[in-house]
Structure 1
């Protein structure tokens, strides 16, 4: 039985934000298996949490930035080389305030702002191909109303 036929199969649901200030993207440099990689502020959806709330929370926890979501960019499906399936829900956001004293999540080396061209030049350091896919869609103007993703009770 392959993973698609296994009734216990469940992809990892993640959220990410594209936060832009003065033409630069808010990113995190994180340590994964001893390697410093670049990612959007991103993380896993927690039980009982909406996707939007998870995106705001993860951005704060990983960067110290409070953000306001402005648009839904898209949904992305990817299977990691080790076979782990991911579904990423990506949002555009505006920076609201920063708490430089806030401790960042474990594994986060630092938050940084990079121009899109500088990020593209670091392609070998991206945590996954999802990072650039989301940024490329954002840069191409892909934006959907936040109401596209509905949480129902």
Structure 2
């Protein structure tokens, strides 16, 4: 071993369902336009639930209040053009979508938000940014919900 410690990239994602449709974002990636749940990297000093609320606001212009942890997921991918090998650990949350913040610009790279049914999401796998998108939606549909206090955030994080 060369002394470098392997560390997964910690991400957070919101699975938001209303009337049988899920809120996704369409975004520019190195592989072209892709679909994803509102998601992004956890920032220093925030809990996973706080990071999820922040990312959802930045990517959709909607407030989001996480109410349950759906699950914790891992996936590995190679990024073009350099072939970088990256492992992601995703905390996926269900919650309550708030009002859209009028006039708020979407995060850089986000083209638009889109509401899709589970069947539309299943049919669009080739356009998913993350291989975890569909698994998170399927787990949500299966009723997987865990209390937020399953994730303990020590005061030292702040």
Q: TM-score range by the shorter chain?
A: over 0.9
1:106-121 pair list within 5 angstroms: 106-121=108-123
1:96-107 pair list within 5 angstroms: 96-107=98-109
Match of 1:80, SS state, is: strand
Inter-CA distance 93–10: structure 2 relative to 1 (3 Å threshold): same
Does 2:20 correspond to 1:23? yes
**TM-score, normalising length: structure 1:** 0.93
Inter-CA distance 135–7: structure 2 relative to 1 (3 Å threshold): same
Alpha-carbon contact 1:21-1:94 (below 8 Å) kept: no
Cα drift, residue 119 of structure 1: 0.9
1:3-152 pair list within 5 angstroms: 6-33=3-30, 35-81=32-78, 82-152=84-154
Provide structure 1 residue ranges, at least 5 long, that are not aligned to the other structure.
Answer: none
**TM-score, normalising length: structure 2:** 0.90
Provide structure 2 residue ranges, at least 5 long, that are not aligned to the other structure.
Answer: 79-83
Cα drift, residue 48 of structure 1: 0.9
CA shift digits 1:19-64 (9 cap, x unpaired): 1111110100001015110000000011111111000000000001
Match of 2:149, SS state, is: helix
Cα drift, residue 115 of structure 1: 0.9
